[in-house]
Amino acid sequence: MSVPAPARVYLDHAATTPVLDEVVEVVAREMRQTGNASSLHDPGRRARRVVEESREQVAQALGVRPSEVVFTSGGTEADNLAVKGTYAARRAADPARDRLVVAGTEHHAVLDPVEHLVAHEGARVTWVEPDAEGVVTPDALAAALDADGGPATVALVSVMWANNEVGTVAPVPALAAVAREHGIPFHSDAVQALGQVPLDLSRVDLGVVTGHKVGGPLGVGVLTAGRDQAPVPLTHGGGQERGLRSGTLDTPAIAGLAVAVTHAAQHQAEHAAYLAGLRDALVTGALALDPGITVSGPWTPADTAGRLAGNVHLRVADCEGDSLLYLLDAAGVACSTGSACQAGVPRPSHVLLAMGVPEQEAAGALRMTLGHGSTQADVDAVLAALPPALERARRAHAAAAGSQTRRSA
């Protein structure tokens, strides 16, 4: 007799979130049309009209001018264009500007381009470390600008709007003001912030969002670049998107993106309030289950300003996050850990380490993120699945530790 599969609870919206029905409809409609937005005939002009109307919608939702919206393949490409392109442009204009000032808690879509520039383009980097809750403060940024040769050596500052792992929301307008005092462009990856906090990308010089975090299509995103910003392009060809991003425009995906971004901006306040209620129920329930569970990042019930409303990040003592993930997955709960896996070797989260969390404690991280479609029933299912998963994961951890002790003896 076969055992039925457990009901599936999806709590990994920070990775990707279900596509909205209205997005599916508009993408399907546009995929039935033929036309390259760069062509001059009627089908091409029709496609161009869809693209430009979508650009206007996205600009309005993000608080910028339509001319400042550059469509990309997603957040990673947009971050690469902002970081690599701005560094190249600023360094060419002033060779003394060889330094990047970057938060130590950034997504790898920022960290890896920075490390590439250090390794291959002679860049230097000053890391801005957060406080124990993951917050990068204006004072910390000002100190980083003054270090290593001072503000005159800085090509770009990059601090993400909201952290993808622990959910901490940065004081981005205040940070951008510090950079602007010295005439330094400020870049912010706002991928996780869209739809959960009020977002005005006119407050930064270069901003990034992507579609699939807010119910839009995969493979399409936006770089907002102020009119005075001229990053060196990473791709060359047809000169589309202000010459910053050559390539045939994906009209169906762009139309779907516009619907999703507009929906996220219009419903942000009520969506955040709803998610915060579920988040708080999940956090309080988990803390009540086990004294070995702690919360990473700032958390105050009902807060939607200091922490993303849909983010729950827990650290579990005497436990491996990967073990918990697999056990919960087997119980029908899809979530993630705070660990990155490089070359097959699990490593503690760089975000937690930057926050001062000890490496052993960082290994027991578990991230659960809520989004549209999440319900109280999902929270109840997780809280029911956690105790047996914790028990088995701790047994496995203890057995592994005992085996390591015997090998070392």
Per-residue pLDDT tens for 392-409? 999 988 877 666 555 665
Per-residue pLDDT at 347: 77
398, containing H or E segment:
helix 376-408
CATH superfamily of the 268-408 domain: Aspartate Aminotransferase, domain 1 (3.90.1150.10)
pLDDT of residue 371: 97
DSSP state of 375: -
Q: Could you tell me where the beta strands, DSSP code E, fall in 129-185? A: 154-158
What's the CA gap between 254 and 217, in Å, rounded?
A: 9
How do the pLDDT tens digits run along the chain, 409 residues long?
444 455 699 999 999 999 999 999 999 999 999 999 999 999 999 999 999 999 999 999 999 999 999 999 999 999 999 999 999 999 999 999 999 999 999 999 999 999 999 999 999 999 999 999 999 999 999 999 999 999 999 999 999 999 999 999 999 999 999 999 999 999 999 999 999 999 999 999 999 999 999 999 999 999 999 999 999 999 999 999 999 999 999 999 999 999 999 999 999 999 999 999 999 999 999 999 999 999 999 999 999 999 999 999 999 999 999 999 999 999 999 999 864 444 345 678 999 999 999 999 999 999 999 999 999 999 999 999 999 999 999 998 887 766 655 566 5
- Would you state the structure tokens that stand for residue 382, as one six-digit string? 């997780």
Q: Is 245 helix (H, G, I), strand (E, B) or coil?
A: coil
User: Which of 3.30.70.360, 3.30.70.2190, 3.40.50.880, 3.40.640.10 would CATH assign to domain 21-266?
Assistant: 3.40.640.10
Q: Which of 28, 93, 152, 341 is the catalytic position?
A: 341
Locate the DSSP E strands across 176-242.
186-189, 206-210, 221-225
Predicted pLDDT at 133: 97
Three-class secondary structure of residue 158 per DSSP: strand
Q: Report CA Rg, the chain.
A: 22
What's residue 400's pLDDT? 72
Asked about 341 being catalytic, the answer comes back as yes
Contact 247, 345 (CB under 8 A): no
Q: What is the per-residue pLDDT for 341?
A: 44
In this prediction the pTM is: 0.94
Q: What are the C-alpha distances in Å from 407 to residues 99, 401, 404?
A: 46, 10, 5
Q: In the prediction, which pLDDT does 2 show?
A: 47
Q: Cβ(297)–Cβ(166) under 8 Å?
A: yes
Mind giving me the DSSP string for 75-137? HHHHHHIIIIIHHHHHHHH-TT--EEEEETT--HHHHHHHHHHHHHS--EEEEE---TTSPPP
